[in-house]
Chain A
Amino acid sequence: MGLAQVDNKALTKFLKGLLHRQLDQASWQWLTTKLDNLNNDPQLRNFYLTFSAVPRYLGKASLQLTPEDIHQVSALRPGFQMNGWTISQTGRALVVCAYPYSDPETFIKIIDQLFSTAEVSELVALYSALPVMPYPEKLKARASEGIRTNMSVVFDAVVLNNPYPSKYLDEGAWNQMVLKALFMERPLFRIYGLEERSNLSLSKMISDYAHERWAAGRPTSPEMWRPIMEHGTISIYQDLEQLIALDDPDQQSAAILAAKALNTRESQAFLDQNDSLVKQLENASITWDKIGERWWSKQQMN
């Protein structure tokens, strides 16, 4: 079941292990002393101050992960990733997850206060740790709130490399998230569960969005067709024809991959019609991830 909590003991032990390896003696000492103090005397003021003070004592270096670590991270919760995390981000996740909350109601009260007074990197740390927090089912509204942000670093923390949204968001919130990711030109291939959560309503929204962009003479991301499903009002096949007509290899590959996933009689006819493109795609082993990575690196160069 997706609602299961992460084994908190295993998690805190693992995070401590990662930090112990990378911190110098003084920083490690500071951290363990603070954690012990909070465990023995869970005063809220000290909890908030410790959470804020983490970068002052642990520094902002990147967290180093071995292949074995990466394996263990995803064993804690499928889809959970710590690639690209900083030491401080890890320290903050540990402080939040190790605190002895008495019950779910107290947890959410404390976490809400933490969120509502957080600065930018604190928000990033909190949102990226959503999937491993105690009582994750209490955090649905908070995750939706995070998606409403206009700070792209914060948006990324909730949306990218994070299994929380696909597990816990309802369809409406999920669809808004994907559309907003497109709107903010975020890399869709880093959204966990993009295909699994695809739905007809989202497909329609994506098609409408593409038409809006085309009407304005603006470019569209080839990745946007990844979660598409067949839908009634506007024929998806017209959209795919339009992609072929754009005469851009990535847009054309997107059309072929989308048609393959649709797996209908019409999509097969479309593939037959574009037989040479299908062969090209198969010869070059082009995948959605590859298309996404290429689009993303083009965006970075603009």
Chain B
Amino acid sequence: MFIDPHVHMTSRTTDDYQAMRDAGIVAIIEPAFWLGQPRTAVGSFQDYYSSLVGWERFRASQFGIKHYCTIGLNSKEANNEALAEQVMEILPLFACKEGVVGIGEIGFDDQTETEDKYFRQQLELAKELDLPVQIHTPHRDKKRGTTRSMDVVVEHGIDPGKVVIDHNNEETVREVLDRGFWCAFTIYPFTKMGNKRMVAVVQQYGSERIIVDSSADWGISDPLAVPKTAGLMERSGIPQEDIRLTCYQNALTAYGQSGQMDESDWLDAATVDQTQLFEGNSVLRGQRPDTKSDIIS
């Protein structure tokens, strides 16, 4: 059993969902992010958030995968101040919904003053609602951006144990762990971590508070990054318990603090909520996926 606690399924196909399920992924978290180009109206944000708690959740359920999300204004689009103001107004409508496990992904991109302003406002929202926070660290000037993100969190009096710092690398891991934050790694070709490097990180730092995710999205990325990394860890002789913690349990412990994510959601899916049952849903009737046959009937 695996959890991918950072994956943008809105950009992925049903083949991906099926492959993820076959590979043992039982639950996913989809952070609210940008869509590859900036939105120009608050309605686009509202419909996007709405799809994260509606259509995408349903789509995942078709494949027996529990879908959760985090809600937030991403750092790139926070730079459009007029729009950001309107988005901040609608965030509370979504932040308390069922299955919303945190405020995210928020943080810095260019590390501008405007990004800083909305990052702080959203940290305050997370504090008010007692929700975990998922932080995106910048691609450029990463090390300083990561340190600065943690400084801001601490300044707002938020417990690092409720905050996941994402997209770490060998250069940032030590400080993030030392300061008591959850430390997530994105296995993403070319620009982020590779999984051989990930194995080395776990060999060096162990499994406490370390989380593996795919961040698969509209770019060249891999929705099976978590199970593939787990496989590589196993072949590299990393103990089962460390694999379980980094590829399943730590994400559950961190985001489970929202009160919105519990192992029983997928273990007893049949008894907990009949209406969400995979088998009871029928959008796929007539277009039922079948990997075993190439006959299209």
Residues of A within 8 A of B (CB): 45, 48-49, 52-53, 55-56, 60, 62, 84, 86, 116-124, 150-154, 156, 183-186, 217, 300
Contacts and interface: CB of A to CB of B under 8 A. Distances in A.
Contacts of B259: 56
A121 B50 contact: no
Interface in B35-85: 46, 49-50, 53-55, 57-58
A71 to B, nearest CB: 24
Contacts, number: 77
A153 B97 contact: no
Contacts of A117: 46, 49-50, 90, 93-94
A233 B57 CA distance: 44
25 contacts: A48-B93, A52-B97, A53-B96, A56-B98, A86-B275, A117-B50, A118-B53, A119-B99, A120-B57, A120-B276, A121-B273, A121-B275, A122-B97, A151-B55, A151-B58, A151-B283, A152-B280, A152-B281, A153-B275, A153-B276, A153-B281, A156-B275, A184-B282, A184-B283, A185-B282
Interface centre among A60, A151, A156 (most CB of B within 10 A): A151
Contacts of A116: 46, 50
B53 A120 contact: yes
Contacts of B19: none
Interface of B: 46, 49-50, 53-55, 57-58, 90, 92-94, 96-99, 259, 272-276, 279-283, 285-286, 297
Nearest to A45: B92
Given A150-B283, A184-B283, 9 more contacts: A56-B259, A62-B274, A84-B274, A86-B275, A119-B53, A151-B283, A152-B282, A153-B280, A300-B279
A60 B269 CA distance: 12
A185 B285 CA distance: 7
Contacts of A56: 98, 259
A153 B90 CA distance: 26
